[in-house]
Structure 1
Amino acid sequence: MRICTITVRGGSKGVPRKNLRVVAGKPLFGHSVAQAVATGLFDEVVVSSDSEEILALAPEFGATGIVHRPAEMASDTAGKVPAIAHAVRMTEQRLGLSFDVCVDLDATSPLRTVDDIRTAVEMFEESDAESLITGAEARRNPYFNLVEEQPDGTVAVSKKPDDAVLRRQDAPRCFDMNGSIYVWRRDSLLEGQVVFFPSTILYEMPAERSTDVDSEFDFRIVEWLMGTRDDL
C-alpha cells in the first residue's frame, strides 16, 4: 500500500500565505494534491497542516485525509521529515493499517508532472533503496566551478578531485536537490526520520520542472512556466 503526504505550513516568511496563493487556477498546495490523485498510485492522499483554512480546502483537490500538524512541527525551525512521519502515523492509526511506501510531494514544487511522480515511484519500487530524492543537474559543479571560502579569506574549488578537471564535462555529475518528490520505505521513514541513507537514489528532473517557490521571484517564474503548459 502507498500513501502520499503533502505537508503544508500555514505561515511563510518569504511570501506570506504562499501555500494559499492562487497560481494557474489553484492555491499553490492544491496542485500537489491534485497531481497525487491523478497518478492513481495512492491508497491515501493526506494533507498535513497547522492551518485550518488549508485543511478545509484540501478535500476540494482530492485529499482523502487531513492531519492536524502540531505547532511544534510547524515553526520556522522545525524539520519537514518529522511532520511527514507524523502524518503517516496518524493516518495509519485512523485507518488501522500499515503502508509499505511513503511518498511526499512538496507543496511549493508545482512544476512536476504526474508522470514524474509515477516514474519516480516505479524507479524506487524496482530498486532496493531505502529512499529516493529528486533533483536537477547542478549549474555549478563543486569539482570545477563551485568555490568555497577558506579560513584565511581565499577561495578554492569546493571539492578537490584527485586529478585536475579541465572541463566541466569531465567532472562527476552533481545535482541540485529540488525537493519535489521524496519516497521512503515505511520503516525507514518512521524509524530513521531522515532523507539520506547509504542506498538513497535520485530521479533526475529537468531544470524547467525544478523551481521551488520560496520568494516573489520564484512565483513569477512558476506562474510564467505554468502558463506555457497544457497539462495543468
Structure 2
Amino acid sequence: MKRLCTICARSGSKGVSNKNIREVGGKPLLAYSILQAKESNLFQAIAVSSDSTEILDIANRWGADFLITRPTSLATDRAPKIPVVRHALLHMEELNEETFDTIVDLDVTSPLRYISDIKNVVDLLEKNLVSNVITGTPARRSPYFNIVEIDHRGKVQLSKSLSRPIFCRQDAPKCYDLNASIYAWRRDALLKQNTIYNEDTILYIMPEERSIDIDSELDFEIVNLLISKRSIKND
C-alpha cells in the first residue's frame, strides 16, 4: 500500500495575510503539517504544492520530500481542493514513475490535529474500502434549531425544518462542522469524482479543541494559546 501526503499552501489570503507561513508557537504554520506527516511514518512521500517560491523554500527547510509548483489556474481563492490535490498526485506519479493507492491531504490551517487522527483516518479509509474520509467536529449550532435564513420577503426562518417542533438543541438531529483538517482518498475516487461528498464517504469526528481552522486573527490567537498549553504539558 503506497501512500502520498499532499500539503497545499498557496500564496495570498483575503482573511489573514501570508497565513500559511506566519509563525504560530515559534514555527511557520506550514511546518506543523509537514512534521505531523513525517512523524506518522505513514507516507512514502510528502509533497507540498504551492504557487509561491517562498512557501516552497520553507517547506524544503522543514523536511518536505517534494516541492510542486502549482499552476496559476489552481492558485486562486476560488480554486477547489480536489483539482489541486489531483494535480499533485499526477505530478508525483509522473515524477516517481509509480502510482499511489492512498492520498491524504493535510490542510495547513488546521495544525491542532494529532498524529493519531491522521492514522485513524487512513485506517478508516483502507479498512472500510470507501472512496474517501473527511473530518469534522460536533456543530455548536444546528440548522434545525438556531441557524436561520432570511427569505426573499425578509422573513426569518430556520435553515432546516422537521415535521415536529424542536424546543432544545439536544433534540435536533446531530450535525457536524467540517474542520478542514484531514482529507483521504483512494486513488480511483480522487481521479474520478469531483466532490468530497460521495455515497460511501465516512466522517471522522474530532473534538473541538483539535478542529480550529485558522481563518482570522482571532483563530490565530486561539491556536497560539492551545499550542502553548500543549508545550507546557510536554515540558
TM-score with structure 1 length normalisation? 0.96
1:107 aligned partner, one-letter code: V
Q: CA deviation at 1:14?
A: 1.6
Structure 1 residue 87 displacement after superposition = 0.4
- 2:125 aligned partner: 124
The one-letter code sitting in structure 1 at the alignment partner of 2:178 is M
Could you tell me how far apart the structure 2 residues matched to 1:131 and 1:32 are? 20
Deviation at 1:164, TM superposition (A): 2.3
Residue type of the partner of 2:112?
A: L
**Structure 1 residue 90 and structure 2 residue 128: aligned?**
no
Deviation at 1:194, TM superposition (A): 2.2
Q: In structure 2, what is the Cα distance between the partners aligned to 1:158 and 1:29? A: 36
Counterpart CA distance in 2 for 1:88 and 1:162 is: 45
Unaligned runs of 5+ in 2: none
Query: 2:183 matched to which residue of 1?
Result: 182
Deviation at 1:90, TM superposition (A): 0.1
- In the other structure, the counterpart of 1:51 is 52
Tell me the residue number matched to 1:155.
156
* Superposition deviation, residue 154 in structure 1: 1.2
How far the C-alpha of 1:182 sits from its partner, in A, is 0.3
Contact map agreement 1:85 1:193 (CA 8 A) in 2: no
User: C-alpha offsets along residues 170-192 of structure 1, whole Å, 9 cap, x if unaligned?
Assistant: 21110000100001111111122
2-structure distance, mates of 1:98, 1:48: 18
Q: Separation in 2 of the partners of 1:113 and 1:27?
A: 17
For the 8 Å contact 1:211–1:218, the answer to whether it is kept is yes
Equivalent AA in structure 2 for residue 122 of structure 1: D
Aligned pairs (5 A) from 1:1-232: 1-230=2-231
Structure 2: which amino acid aligns with 1:167?
A: C
Cα drift, residue 114 of structure 1: 0.8
Question: Match of 1:31, SS?
Answer: helix
Task: Tell me if structure 2 keeps the 8 A contact 1:131–1:201.
Answer: yes
Amino acid of the residue matched to residue 94 of structure 1? Answer: L
Give me the whole-angstrom Cα distance separating, in 2, the residues matched to 1:62 and 1:194. 30
Asked if the contact 1:128–1:199 (Cα under 8 Å) also holds between the matched residues in 2, the reply is no
Aligned equivalents of 2:20 and 2:159: distance in 1?
35
Cα RMSD over matched residues? 1.4
Per the normalisation by structure 2, the TM-score is 0.94
Task: Tell me the number of residue pairs that the alignment of Structure 1 and Structure 2 aligns.
Answer: 232
Please identify runs of 4+ aligned residues in structure 1 that moved more than 4 A: none
Residues in 2 aligned to 1:160 and 1:15: alpha-carbon distance in whole angstroms: 35
Deviations 1:58-105 (A, max 9, x none): 132221111110111101222222111100100000000111111000
1:128-151, Cα deviation, whole Å (9 max, x unpaired): 321111111011111122111122
Unmatched segments (≥5 aa) in structure 1? none
Amino acid of the structure 1 residue aligned with 2:209:
E
SS of the aligned residue for 2:91 comes to helix
Q: In structure 2, what is the Cα distance between the partners aligned to 1:213 and 1:81?
A: 20
Task: Read off the aligned partner of 1:2 and give its amino acid letter.
Answer: R
Amino acid at match of 2:101: D
